[in-house]
Structure 1
Amino acid sequence: MTAPRKLILAVAAASLFTLLLVGATAALMLAGEPDAAGVGRSPEERVVVLVVLLLLAGTFCCWVIARLHDLYAASPLRMAEEVTATLAHGVLRVAEQGATELRVLAQAVNQLLALREANENDVAARVREARASLEEERSRLAALMADLSQSVVVCNLDGRVLLYNQRARQELTAGADGGQAELLGLGRSIYTVFDRALITHALERLQQASRELGEADSRQLLGSAQFVTATPAGRLLRAHMSPVLGGDGPHHAQVGGLSITGFVLVLDDVTSSNERHARRDALIQSLIEGGRGPLGSIRAAAEMLSEVADMPVQQRARFLRVVHDEAAKLSAQFEAAASAFSNDLRERWLLEEMRGAEVLVVAARRIGERRSGERRALAVKTENVDEDLWLRVDGYGLFQALRYLALRLQDEYEVREVRLSLARSGQLAQLDLSWLGTFMNNETAMSWLQDPMSIAGDASPLSVTDVVERCNGDIWFQRERVSHRAFFRTMLPIAEAPTDLPRAVIAAAEGERPEFYDFDLFSWSDASHELDERLLTELSYTVFDTETTGLLPSQGDEIIQIGATRIVNRRLLRHECFDQLINPQCRLSPQSIEVHGITRELLVDQPTIDVVLPKFRAFCADTVLVGHNAAFDMRFLQLKEEQTGVRFEQPVLDTLLLSAVLHSNQPTHRLESIAERLGVSVFGRHTALGDAMVTGEVFLKMLPLLAEMGIRTLRQAREASQKTFHARLKY
């Protein structure tokens, strides 16, 4: 029992004793003899008076106790919790409440907090200045990773992902059914994507190569291991594995005098090239097999014609017909093969897949660049652009060719404006460079297409025709006399549009720069200790929330939305989200619609719970679940175990229970109230993903407060939560 409470109880006891003494004295005074008129109080009346006095005295004493407790016990405790919360985030001030003395104390505390905040702001400003160059380097890294055409994944020795780029996310999150499978993320295991034995074997090859070399040679010659594997979507990837070297530490492998802390995977999608090679092999095989018969017949007929000089005319004609027919068959076979495999046979240059609209934007910018000494740049407009077309082209060469043609029009025919258009024409894309009013003859146009290009003093040995043929296309000059328009028309093959990026990546690209890296994970090892003894700051979390048709899971209410995000290395990964509406296959109550705003029409075409839960389990694999009032959400999940076969057996932490541990004297532990106490902005309430985001921010604010109370491990947090009153609530 604290000293203020002991003092209050002592004062209350003294007051009660005094009141009882006063009441007893009054009762004795009332117990006198009847007066001269014979009027007096009977024993029953004296008892009633005594009881009333005692009740009044007890009531007054209770009021005194409650008032003293609120002024001198509860108020200081609430103030202490507010000070602790304020010290964690330095935003709020202590409320001036309680007795006058405590209000004065609160004012003094607020002055200290203001001084502390000023000092922290000064330190923060200095830290921001010191980190400016580091942030610049990180931005360069992010830009470099985003522009790479290859997939890059960096892992520590446990296979935990600590860096990846958008290309890797695009290729490695495609599921076998064509949908998105949440397999890749910071802190997640690469073995959910690739076979563990394959990675282990490649690491062993790296280590063996390092052992065979000396330390100096290892640093200079340490190369990469290579292997080919398939993604869950069936794409074929060629992987180059290189080691990440580091200093001595607890999470590294010592090989050949070198310390390896992790590995880098550079992935190339070789599905298309593998298919092309297979087609070429089939072409060669078909030509060999199909040519043996005709060539044998031609050879036999030729030998007979050469050996028998006096062969009868009819027989000679028959042999000549055999030679003619077999040669025709052979020629037809070669023509058919050349037609069927022309694109594969002509594809020698490295081409890039580009959106057609982007091709026109870049081409227009290149054409419109003002040359030195030029008073006016050539005007360029785009029109009739098909936004859905993708092209596989030599981008630089194509831009160079279009600029060359446009500038020759400006220089030799004084054309002031050209237009670019892109449309679909059957199985090809039609790209036109057109202009109005000025015509040229076909001979001039053909010479422009065949001459080596020379642009602004830069000469190229290639012609426009060479560049277009690199792209497996064709180009010609054409006039339309009715519209007074002339144009160079380029026909290009259409490429398949790449798989769309996951929604979370697109959302992150539109907002803040997505953080696809976390180098601190190099020092994270699963083998170091058991999960229950892991520090809370070292664990990965999935913060989740659900929206439901009602509040009674045991009476048939269903989940209609699951939202979740992840926390890795004490950072909320806003770009790694799970957000899915669910068709409950039952009616929604009007009361629930008023809360979350999700109507029946929004859920009609959504997947059912048996489809969503396996994907959600994959998203939160190898993490600790975190929720607010998590017992409510977990009850819904548990009731679906038999139907879906999906069990969530990982540990669960509840921010409601943790708030009761941290702030036991607060009257409410609603999410909004906790967020206000901890200085967390509330947004997107009553949407599953919005609530999960707020819960994640609140949980991160709680971690240092829990550490100050000595709650540092998962086991300690779970045990402290189970001791609170709210842990006894059942659903």
Structure 2
Amino acid sequence: MSVKSRQGLAILAACVLVVGVLAVAGIALWRDLSPSEREVLEPILNPRFGLLIMIGLVGAGAAAVLMKPFAEAAFAAPAQLADEVGLIVGTDPARRLKPLGSPELQRIAELVNQLADQRRSLQEDVEARIGEARRSVEEERNRLAALMSELSQSVVVCNLDGRILLYNNRARLQFKAMSDTPTAAGGGEIIGLGRSIYLVFERSLITHALESIQERIRRRSAQPVANFVTTTRAGQLLRVQMAPVLGSGEAEGEPAMSGFVLMLDNITRNFEVETRRDQMLHTLTEGSRSSLANLRAAAEMLEYPDLDAELKDRFLKVIRDEVQGMSTRLDETANAFADSLKTRWPLDEMLGADLVAAAQRRIEKKLGLPTKLEDVDPQVWVKVDSFSLLQAIGYLASRLSDEFEVREVRFRLSAAGRLAHLDLIWSGQAMSTETVMAWELEPMTFAGENSPLTVRDVIERHDGEIWLQREKTQHRAFFRLLLPSAIPQEQIEAAAYLKGDSRPEYYDFDLFKQTPASHELDDCLLSELTFTVFDTETTGLNPSEGDEIIQIGATRIVNGKLRKSESFDQLVDPQRDLPEESIKIHGITPDMLAGQPTMGKVLPAFHAFAEDTVLVAHNAAFDMRFLQLKEASTGIRFAQPVLDTLLLSAVLHPSQESHRLEAISERMGVSVMGRHTALGDAIVTGEVFLRMIPLLAEMGIRTLGEARRASEKTYYARVKY
């Protein structure tokens, strides 16, 4: 029986008692009168019988008014005191009781506060000792998380159930690119802690790879890994290497596997480039056949000694035209394929002008040789190993200075399609081809620096070319270095990736101990389930009358932790007017919704984000009604279980007057930030829900099924939208 029911019964009992006492007193007084006295009083009292009843009722009402404070002191104050003590024990040890009710209850509150202070002091001492014991373990975790976050390769770690327990930022970007709906979901619907890797890969493929690894472990292989290539549902081609995570125990005399590591490379572009390269080589080969035939025929005709001058000129023109055509085709093919050149050495993207400036400083400082610039394109970016390339340029300059007495060199830089031409120019005597070949193949030595590399080695590192070219009209020559160019945007994106917020919220090692997926959800403990906490902002409060969702925000709870980094936050074009009244609440304006995806695109992405989880919301009936009304038009149905923090609050604290999210947050000691934004409300709801779980456990509500059944018994569960 609720506190208010007990209060009402107490007041009713007091009223009945007052009326009863008055009635008994009246009857006793009437019987004590003599017959003559009764004859005198009867004519007086009979006409006033109604007034006597009214006096009795007024007395009962006065008793009720007087009794109410005593009833509240006897029932309401102890109930509120019990709720407050429960909050101190379960969620907020720093909370303290406000003295209420009788002096005795106020004294109890003071003693409870003293006990809470002592308990808090002991907790702080225990936490300090535990913190010292965990520090070394946390350092190891942070080192691993930092290492994982900075890897340039995509890495995902899973337990044996295929649930993701660790992934780095590169993997998040990789999965975002593989997403069917990268705009609406940002890839979050297919990767996240506790999510199944089978959303990306076929289960049979992973199973086969695991069996292969286990066989290698049985054979005591030094590298028990498996490799495979597969396609994703978005059509991406992935090369995957799988390695085992070995546990501390053994299974049947062999190291036991507790999970596996996937290292992913998206080779879609490489495959496309190789296919395009084959096509270009085929085109180049076929296109050269006719030119070679024409050249052969012309050369044979030129062998005739009696060929007249006119025919000889015609055949020479054929040779020139065909050679020019073949040269053009070769240049076009090289330029078209330049962006797919494979390097055998790490290359950095840099501004070409910066490379030239560094070369000038090096030559002038090391050799004392003046340098000048000549037509350097400031927009050209190159992809180079700057250290070895500067060594090669300095070496060539030193040989020119020492052997040909060159007194000045100049630099020229220009773009040539997807390549870059870097020219080292000088004036002076001519140089033979044999000398150039010798310089290219000798180990580089100049200005006291020795390198085992040759100029040819450096150029081959860049998959480039170098040649000597003369400018006869200006009596000078130059070395032309053909280098791979780069696109500035790619460099900026790479920097953004490396400097981004990549660590370290994306790992949870406790997921190795996750409940087997075969357990029925209703029988699973709340502390072991994965939840999607969500909220919506809408055009109004009447979904059945045409109001629409304009924002969905959600975050995940995995292994008892709120994962704010794994979130879903998307504005939605409602395709209808936005009332001024709603704008004042959520602050979303029509301009903000212009160009946003419609619900038909957003809902499938949110459905994928929440897949295989339990939904949690505050006043979930309201949000779920909006989603249910979209089933017919989108074909999307949310069939997973739903928990409502509004109902659970009524289960935990039935004596509290308010179960609004702000009131619950205040009771639970949760800071409210970002209120009336979908994601902000979802995060607050998640924090509140996590603090409810231990309180529910104290009431014997530990599983999902028990929480749902308890929620259904509250008054608020009867509210419909």
Provide TM-score, normalisation by structure 2: 0.78
Residue number among 451, 462, 467 corresponding to 1:460 in the alignment: 451
Question: Structure 2: how far apart are the matches of 1:172 and 1:686?
Answer: 30
In structure 2, the residue corresponding to 1:129 is in which secondary structure? helix
Per-residue CA deviations over 1:504-557 (Å, capped at 9, x if unaligned) read x999955x9441111211222544411111111111111000001111111111
Is contact 1:170–1:500 with CA below 8 Å preserved after alignment?
Answer: no
Tell me which residue corresponds to 1:81. 83
- Structure 2 gap ranges (5+): 366-376, 397-412, 468-479
Per-residue CA deviations over 1:336-372 (Å, capped at 9, x if unaligned) read 23551365599453465766589979x99xx99xx9x
Is contact 2:165–2:194 with CA below 8 Å preserved after alignment?
Answer: yes
Per-residue CA deviations over 1:685-731 (Å, capped at 9, x if unaligned) read 00000000000001111111111111111111111111111111111
Is contact 2:166–2:507 with CA below 8 Å preserved after alignment?
Answer: yes
Cα gap change, 1:276 to 1:586, in 2 (>3 Å) = closer
Tell me which residue corresponds to 2:228. 227
Q: Report the number of matched residues.
A: 664
CA root-mean-square deviation: 5.1
Is contact 1:83–1:94 with CA below 8 Å preserved after alignment?
Answer: yes
Cα gap change, 1:568 to 1:399, in 2 (>3 Å) = farther
Tell me which residue corresponds to 2:135. 132
Q: Which of 61-70 and 692-701 deviates more?
A: 61-70
1:149 and 2:143 aligned: no
In structure 2, the residue corresponding to 1:137 is in which secondary structure? helix
- Aligned AA for 1:278? T
Per-residue CA deviations over 1:449-481 (Å, capped at 9, x if unaligned) read 9998789976434578975774467999xxxxx
Tell me which residue corresponds to 2:21. 21
Deviation at 1:278, TM superposition (A): 2.9
Is contact 2:548–2:626 with CA below 8 Å preserved after alignment?
Answer: yes
Question: Structure 2: how far apart are the matches of 1:315 and 1:705?
Answer: 108
Tell me which residue corresponds to 2:385. 394
Is contact 2:382–2:420 with CA below 8 Å preserved after alignment?
Answer: no
Residue number among 196, 199, 203 corresponding to 2:206 in the alignment: 199
Question: Structure 2: how far apart are the matches of 1:546 and 1:724?
Answer: 23
Tell me which residue corresponds to 1:493. 485
Per-residue CA deviations over 1:597-650 (Å, capped at 9, x if unaligned) read 111121122111111111111111111100000000000111111111111111
In structure 2, the residue corresponding to 1:578 is in which secondary structure? strand
Tell me which residue corresponds to 1:349. 343
1:268 and 2:238 aligned: no
Correspondences of 1:596-607 after superposition (within 5 Å): 596-607=586-597
Is contact 1:547–1:688 with CA below 8 Å preserved after alignment?
Answer: yes
In structure 2, the residue corresponding to 1:149 is in which secondary structure? coil
Cα gap change, 1:263 to 1:57, in 2 (>3 Å) = same
Question: Structure 2: how far apart are the matches of 1:390 and 1:74?
Answer: 76
Tell me which residue corresponds to 1:479. none
Q: Which of 600-609 and 281-290 deviates more?
A: 281-290
Cα gap change, 1:169 to 1:579, in 2 (>3 Å) = same
Question: Structure 1: how far apart are the matches of 2:449 and 2:99?
Answer: 77
- Aligned AA for 1:588? L
Tell me which residue corresponds to 1:53. 55
Cα gap change, 1:722 to 1:691, in 2 (>3 Å) = same
Correspondences of 1:56-455 after superposition (within 5 Å): 56-88=58-90, 89-174=92-177, 175-176=179-180, 179=183, 180-181=186-187, 182-211=189-218, 213=219, 217=220, 220-248=221-249, 254=251, 257-286=254-283, 289=286, 313=306, 329=322, 332-333=325-326, 336-337=329-330, 339-341=332-334, 347=341, 349-350=343-344, 356=350, 392-394=383-385, 397=388
In structure 2, the residue corresponding to 1:131 is in which secondary structure? helix
Question: Structure 2: how far apart are the matches of 1:21 and 1:134?
Answer: 74
Deviation at 1:267, TM superposition (A): 1.1
In structure 2, the residue corresponding to 1:226 is in which secondary structure? strand
Is contact 1:205–1:225 with CA below 8 Å preserved after alignment?
Answer: yes
Deviation at 1:91, TM superposition (A): 2.3
Deviation at 1:127, TM superposition (A): 2.3
- Aligned AA for 1:460? S
Cα gap change, 1:357 to 1:261, in 2 (>3 Å) = farther
Question: Structure 2: how far apart are the matches of 1:399 and 1:675?
Answer: 63
Deviation at 1:221, TM superposition (A): 2.3
- Aligned AA for 1:199? I
- Aligned AA for 1:394? D
Question: Structure 1: how far apart are the matches of 2:680 and 2:73?
Answer: 38
Deviation at 1:498, TM superposition (A): 5.4
Is contact 1:243–1:264 with CA below 8 Å preserved after alignment?
Answer: yes
In structure 2, the residue corresponding to 1:668 is in which secondary structure? coil
Per-residue CA deviations over 1:231-284 (Å, capped at 9, x if unaligned) read 4454422111112221459xxxx5872322221111123234334433443455
Tell me which residue corresponds to 2:660. 670
Question: Structure 2: how far apart are the matches of 1:595 and 1:358?
Answer: 53
In structure 1, the residue corresponding to 2:551 is in which secondary structure? strand
Residue number among 534, 541, 556 corresponding to 1:551 in the alignment: 541
- Aligned AA for 1:550? G
Question: Structure 2: how far apart are the matches of 1:269 and 1:84?
Answer: 53
Deviation at 1:101, TM superposition (A): 0.5
1:703 and 2:693 aligned: yes
Cα gap change, 1:87 to 1:52, in 2 (>3 Å) = same
- Aligned AA for 1:164? Y
- Aligned AA for 2:330? A
1:541 and 2:531 aligned: yes
In structure 2, the residue corresponding to 1:42 is in which secondary structure? helix
Is contact 2:531–2:614 with CA below 8 Å preserved after alignment?
Answer: yes
Cα gap change, 1:490 to 1:686, in 2 (>3 Å) = farther
Correspondences of 1:503-542 after superposition (within 5 Å): 509=500, 513-542=503-532
Correspondences of 1:503-652 after superposition (within 5 Å): 509=500, 513-652=503-642
Is contact 1:228–1:238 with CA below 8 Å preserved after alignment?
Answer: yes
- Aligned AA for 1:154? V
Is contact 1:351–1:393 with CA below 8 Å preserved after alignment?
Answer: no
Cα gap change, 1:291 to 1:465, in 2 (>3 Å) = closer
Cα gap change, 1:48 to 1:334, in 2 (>3 Å) = same
Per-residue CA deviations over 1:87-114 (Å, capped at 9, x if unaligned) read 1231211221111110100000000001
Is contact 1:349–1:470 with CA below 8 Å preserved after alignment?
Answer: yes
Provide TM-score, normalisation by structure 1: 0.77
Is contact 1:348–1:470 with CA below 8 Å preserved after alignment?
Answer: no
- Aligned AA for 1:189? S
Residue number among 664, 682, 685 corresponding to 1:692 in the alignment: 682
Deviation at 1:583, TM superposition (A): 1.2
In structure 2, the residue corresponding to 1:59 is in which secondary structure? helix
Question: Structure 2: how far apart are the matches of 1:695 and 1:258?
Answer: 43
In structure 1, the residue corresponding to 2:71 is in which secondary structure? helix
In structure 2, the residue corresponding to 1:517 is in which secondary structure? coil
Cα gap change, 1:94 to 1:155, in 2 (>3 Å) = same
Q: Percent identity?
A: 47
Question: Structure 1: how far apart are the matches of 2:648 and 2:545?
Answer: 28
Cα gap change, 1:280 to 1:587, in 2 (>3 Å) = closer
Question: Structure 2: how far apart are the matches of 1:358 and 1:296?
Answer: 42
Is contact 1:78–1:666 with CA below 8 Å preserved after alignment?
Answer: yes
Tell me which residue corresponds to 1:484. none
Cα gap change, 1:282 to 1:530, in 2 (>3 Å) = same
Deviation at 1:9, TM superposition (A): 6.8
Deviation at 1:85, TM superposition (A): 1.4
